[in-house]
Structures are given as C-alpha cells and as structure tokens.
Amino acid sequence: MPYVARNRKKDVVAITVEPDDNIKEYLEIDHPDVIDFLTRLGTEHGAKELLNNYDAHVPRVLEDLIDILIRNHIITFEQFPGSARQKLITRQYLRNLIRQEDRS
C-alpha cells in the first residue's frame, strides 16, 4: 500500500490498498505525493474519517501477519485463545467463499 491515481496535473487524487485496472502506480506511504494527498484529504474530510477508512483494512493486514508468523514457526495457531482462533477460521472461510464466487 498505497496505489495511487493521478489527475492530468499529476496530483494524487485517490489512494487504494490494491491495484486495479485504472490504479497501478505504487508509492511508499511516506512518499511526498502521498503525504500531500493525505494532508489535503485530512483537511477536507477530517483526519478521523480518513483514519476510520484505513482502519477497515487493518483486520486483513493482521490476518496476513498472523499467517506469516505461523508459516515461519514464530507462533502456533494453538497459542491463540479459542475465540480468536474461531474468528480467524471464520474469516478465512468467508474469504475462500468470496474467492470461489469471484471465479464463477
């Protein structure tokens, strides 16, 4: 993250977590153009709203991090409390369902 869209003046006008057909340019989060966009957006929409939009992606980031830690034998799945394991399993199941629907 982030992938950016630019206008004709080459200003960043949108940021996404994933690339798509129209947004392919990747910049580091600390790139001056990204910081400028976030600053402008923060003053237009409020930093709280901006943070809430980005917070929506945090669960997926954490799931990916957990998967990496387990694959690298840093932690085991069994070390998580039962309720956390159930939530991770449920989210993984739902993501698999979505992938299957997308392929159809």
Where exactly are the structural domains of the chain?
3-55, 58-103
- Average pLDDT on 72-101 reads 92
The conformation of residue 27, written as its DSSP 8-state character, comes to -
How far apart, in Å, are the Cα atoms of 36 and each of 8, 15, 33, 77, 94? Answer: 16, 12, 5, 40, 36
8 token code pair:
């004709």
pLDDT at 80: 95
- What tens digit of pLDDT does each residue of 27-70 get? 988 888 988 888 887 665 656 666 677 777 788 889 999 999 99
The amino acid present at 70, given as its one-letter code, is: I
pLDDT at 99: 84
Residue 19 has pLDDT above 80, yes or no: yes
Q: How many CB atoms lie within 10 A of CB 92?
A: 12
